[in-house]
A = this chain, B = another copy of it.
Amino acid sequence: MKVHGRHYRTIWLKVGDARTVQLIDQRALPHEFIVEEVRTVAEAARAIAEMHVRGAGLIGATAGYGMYLAAIESTDPDWLRRACETLKATRPTAVNLAWAVDRQLAAILSAADKVAAARATAAQIADEDADFCRRLGEHGLPLIAAISVRKAGAPVNILTHCNAGWLAFVDHGSATAPIYAAHDAGLAVHVWVDETRPRNQGSKLTAWELAQHGVPHTLIVDNAGGYLMQRGEVDLVLVGTDRTTRTGDVANKIGTYLKALAAHDNAVPFYVALPSSSFDWQMRDGLREIPIEDRGAAEVKLIDGWRDGARAEVLIAPTDSPAANPGFDITPSRLVTALITERGVCAASEAAITALFPEHAVQSR
């Protein structure tokens, strides 16, 4: 998508220097746009571990490029296996990460020209991610267009939570893909951006990427969405997911469930956009089966922002008060109007999901 009027992906090979990977250091957003250069697998691992990059799709793509850098350093199989483990250890719960490095390792070990194979596979992983997200946009666009017609072209108001934007993938994003597609098609859209405490990925990342691409938006606190729906100021809710069960239960950033309840109470459609890599085909009951990470008190009590041109933290609570910080919640399928996938839109039910993905019709365990 666009930054300062120019098209960017979140990660790419440097023009004229195919031994250098460039990526956007997201820690500095929205106040600085820093392109970081990564030349070794150790640097790639650090970029993931220290969250210069984040988001399922982008973590996978960065790991893919990390294995390419490892292959440039040495094609010794033991070295490549160690590189694989180094990358996997950075964010142990990220499904796309393990999938990307294992795919790279197999491709490299079986190829004659190992570096060429690693480069091609890294590009494939990134391109596939961007392509899947682009297709989410194609399939989601008609949902927004139908509301636009009903409103006679008045802006379609879309509420989103957290950052399921292009910054979380290689391009387009998941929840944002239909929004960008609608905007680029000339439809009037306006996005209510939940700030998304505790880490504020909404106010820091989603607001920034929408602004850069020229999409009208308004920042709100996470508390405000229910009020806006009560007042008829939200036409649809559109979010991403970290993991969705084969029955359509949706794990997403903490607070998503509250917006789904408000959408249901006010007859506002609630959509979840996801590449099929976010389905967990083994799980049937999101509330009982999906493990929820507790991320510690510091993110709740200390807020990270900018002051006098530099990053700074402020304390917003008594020093001694404990804090709990569950990272995700579960939106049960009954509250989800539909899922938007790269193969099309379907109801959040096992029958509808497996009709679209028949290769998963039988639960594998």
Q: Nearest residue in B to A192 (C-beta to C-beta)?
A: B324
- Tell me how many chains of this kind the complex includes: 2
What is the CA–CA distance of A195 and B324 in the complex, to the nearest angstrom? 11
A228 contacts across to B, CB distance below 8 A: 324, 326
Contact A303 B301 (CB under 8 A): no
Given known contacts A203-B317, A317-B30, is B223 in contact with A255 (CB within 8 Å)?
A: yes
Residue from A197, A211, A301, A328 with most neighbouring chain B CB atoms (10 Å): A197
Q: Nearest residue in B to A301 (C-beta to C-beta)?
A: B219
Q: Nearest residue in B to A335 (C-beta to C-beta)?
A: B265
Residues of A within 8 Å of B, CB-based: how many?
65
Is A109 part of the binding interface, using a Cβ–Cβ cutoff of 8 Å? no
Is A300 part of the binding interface, using a Cβ–Cβ cutoff of 8 Å? yes
Min Cβ gap A267→B in Å is 14
Which A170-203 residues have C-beta < 8 A from chain B?
A: 192-193, 195-198, 200, 203
Is A254 part of the binding interface, using a Cβ–Cβ cutoff of 8 Å? yes
Is A357 part of the binding interface, using a Cβ–Cβ cutoff of 8 Å? no
Is A329 part of the binding interface, using a Cβ–Cβ cutoff of 8 Å? yes
Contact B211 A323 (CB under 8 A): no
Q: Nearest residue in B to A264 (C-beta to C-beta)?
A: B261
Is A42 part of the binding interface, using a Cβ–Cβ cutoff of 8 Å? no
Given known contacts A255-B223, A307-B312, A315-B305, is B217 in contact with A321 (CB within 8 Å)?
A: yes
Contact B320 A195 (CB under 8 A): no
Min Cβ gap A192→B in Å is 8
**Given A195-B317, A221-B300, 14 more pairs with CB closer than 8 A:** A217-B322, A218-B321, A218-B323, A219-B322, A223-B254, A223-B255, A226-B257, A226-B261, A258-B259, A305-B315, A306-B315, A306-B316, A312-B312, A314-B314
Is A292 part of the binding interface, using a Cβ–Cβ cutoff of 8 Å? yes
